[in-house]
Amino acid sequence: MKKVILASGNKGKLSELQSYLTRLNIELVPQPKTAEYDVEETGTTFVENAIIKARHAAKLSGLPAIADDSGLMIDALDFQPGVYTARYAGVGCSSQDNIDLILKNLKSYPDLEKRKATFICVLVYMESAIDPLPVVSLGTWRGAIYPKMMGEGGFGYDPIFWDFKHQMTAAQMSKELKSELSHRGEACRKLLDKLSARYKSLMAQSQ
């Protein structure tokens, strides 16, 4: 299998992504949890930050890299936390800290219709650190912020992200249902299609 480094140490992301990339004979390996792999996300968009992370991981590892930059955009909060989703409550904060701050800031909006939000996932694949044509895919998931935590599954904001159609939070869903509905699932499927097309094109050119 072709080894590709994931520019993240998040086990949840690794598991979700690997389930798709196995079809392309790709083995996804997490980046080492060492300080040199930490990179400052200086971009103002999800795409910029994903490219920064993918390029950095590819440069250090010598492997092709995939980076994920995901976020939550809440309508009533002027689409915050956006690119600051992972550190909404401050640098070094926990997922619980972030959730607590979100719920606090939405206290004046008791109606779910006023608490609508969108999960965003941008995935970037780079064959090398100098790849001039990164493969980029985007996935979205529309829902709302539930006023309390529900469910034991998932990670991050999943316990408060409400799906209107299925009347449950992302943390209450089976892995299969979440993969079908989620922003990351959509981005993965799109990335899979784009990588398949890229490999077929390269193979055709080499013949």
- Could you give the CA distance from residue 72 to residue 161 in angstroms, rounded to a whole number? 9
Count Cα atoms within 13 angstroms, Cβ side, for 80.
13
- Could you give the CA distance from residue 145 to residue 101 in angstroms, rounded to a whole number? 12
β-pair partners for 168: 163
Longest dimension (CA), the chain: 63
22, two tokens: 């196995």
**Do residues 105 and 81 touch, judged by C-beta distance below 8 A?**
no
Where in the sequence numbering do the catalytic residues fall?
Answer: 69
Residue entry with tokens 């996300």: 41
What sign for the dihedral angle of Cα 46, 171, 6, 134?
negative
131, two tokens: 């790849």
